[in-house]
Amino acid sequence: MSHLALTGTDTPLVWVSRDVSLPKVIMYSTGGTILFTSAYSRLDNLAYGGDKSKPVTIQDVIDAVPEVLDIAQIGIVSLPPRISNNLTSQDFVNISRHFAEHVGSENSDIAGAVISHGTNTLTETIFGLDLTLNSFKPIVAVGSMRPDGALSSDGHLNFYQAISTAISPSSRSRGALVVGNDHITSAYFAKKAHANNPDTFMALEQGHLGSLFAGQPYYFYEPARPTGKAYFDLNKVEGELPKVDILYSHLEFDADLMHAAVKGGSRGLVIVGFGAGKLTTAGRTAVADLASQGVSIVSASRPFTGSSCPQPHPDAEIKTNFMSAEHARIQLQLCLATGLNTDEIREVFEGPFRRAVYTEATSFYRTS
C-alpha cells in the first residue's frame, strides 16, 4: 500500500491488482447510487434504499466485477461518502489538483482516472474537471440509476466500461468523459436527461462520442475539442470558488430575488430564461442595475436543448449559448476565481458564437 493523500482528506491510495503489468487507473470514490444498496427490496428503484440504504465500497464493486482486474490495476482514493446533492465545487477542484499532480504529471505511469458519482450532479462535477484539466489522459465519470443489488442494476457494467474507457489509448485527448448504459459522452455537453431511466446521460444535439461493445470503447470520431471550450488554470485560484447562484424564470418572476442573492454573497448569477434565455422586463432592469455594480449575470435557455444565442448587440446580459445553467454556473465561478473582467467573461461565453455567426454575411444586424 502506498500513501497518496487527496487534498482535504487523509485517505491513502490503495492499489488493487492481480497483474502489475496492466495499465493503472485511479478510482475516485465519491458515493452515489452506484455505491449504495437498498434494504427494502431488489425491486426498489424509487427510494434507492432511503434511510435504510447500505453503503458499498469500491472494493465491494471490484469483488463483484473481478473482470476489471483482467484489464487494469485500480488505485482507490475514497472521499467521504455523500449523496451527490451535497457535493460542492470544491470537490472537483480537489480532484482536479490531485489528478494533475499524480496522473497528468509528465513522469506519471497512470493511464487515466475514473470518478464514481451520484447521477444528480455528476455532470456538474465532471464539467468542472473538464474545464480545469489540461491533460491528454482521460478522466471518466460513472454512476448508476439503480442501487447495487437491484434487479438489472446498471452499476456493475457501467463500472467495468468506465475502467475500460479510461485505459483505452483511443480515449486520449478527448477531455473528460461520461460513461453509462453503453454510451460514451463528452463531459462538456453531457446532461442528465431522464430522472429514472438507466439511459439518462445524453448530449442530444451534439450526439454521443461513441458506444461500448463487449466492454470496449468504439468512438465515432477522432479526438476533437468542443467549440468554445475554455481552460482554467487552478494555480491562479486561491481559496474556494466564489458563490454563484442559479435563478429560474417563470411568469411573474420576482426580480428582487436577484438583488437578494447578491446581498447574500453571490458574485455572479445564472438566470434560466424563457425560451432562448429571455428575461422579463423587470429581470432585464435588474440585470442592468447589478451589472453596473460589477455583478456578472449570464442567462441560459429554459428548454432542454437549443441555444441561448448571444444577441447581435451586446448588453449587460451575457448569454450561455448551448451551455446548460448548471454548467454555466461552474464556468462563471472559474471565470471570477481566475480574475476575468466583464469583457473577458463575455468573450469566454459568447466569443466563439459571435465570430462564427456575426460576419459580413449577417451585416444586416449592424446599426447605421
Q: What percentage of residues in the chain have a pLDDT greater than 90?
A: 74
Per-residue pLDDT reduced to its tens digit, 141-170 = 999 999 888 888 999 999 999 999 999 999
Residue 300 pairs in a beta bridge with 272
Q: How do beta strands 268-273 and 244-248 pair?
A: parallel
Q: One of 30, 33, 119, 132 is an active-site residue; which one?
A: 33
167 and 30 within one domain:
yes
Examine residue 9 and state whether it is found in any structural domain, yes or no.
no
44 and 178 within one domain:
yes
**pLDDT at position 79, please?**
82
292 and 202 within one domain:
no
CB 204 within 8 A of CB 322: no
Q: Which three cell numbers mark 119?
A: 447521477
**Total of domains in the chain:** 2
Residue 120: CB atoms within 10 A of its CB come to 16
240 and 139 within one domain:
no
Choice between 45 and 51, residue whose per-residue pLDDT is larger: 45
Examine residue 181 and state whether it is found in any structural domain, yes or no.
yes
> Where residue 100 sits, what CATH number does that domain have?
3.40.50.1170
Q: Which three cell numbers mark 107?
A: 513522469
Where does the pLDDT of residue 42 fall: very low under 50, low under 70, confident under 90, or very high at 90 and above?
confident
Does 51 have pLDDT greater than 80? no
Nearest to 52 by CA among 63, 70, 36: 36
Per-residue pLDDT reduced to its tens digit, 98-120 = 999 999 998 999 999 999 999 99
Choice between 66 and 150, residue whose per-residue pLDDT is larger: 66
Where does the pLDDT of residue 82 fall: very low under 50, low under 70, confident under 90, or very high at 90 and above?
low
Per-residue pLDDT reduced to its tens digit, 166-211 = 999 999 999 999 999 999 999 999 999 998 889 999 998 898 999 9
Average pLDDT of the chain, as a whole number: 91
Look at residues 184, 219, 254 and tell me which one is the last residue of a structural domain.
Answer: 219
Establish whether 227 is a catalytic residue.
no
SS3 call for 141: strand
Span 312-330, mean pLDDT? 93
176 and 69 within one domain:
yes
Range of the domain at 213: 14-219
215 and 107 within one domain:
yes
Look at residues 173, 192, 219 and tell me which one is the last residue of a structural domain.
Answer: 219
pTM listed for this prediction: 0.90
> Where residue 294 sits, what CATH number does that domain have?
3.40.50.40
Residue 110 pairs in a beta bridge with 24
Examine residue 282 and state whether it is found in any structural domain, yes or no.
yes
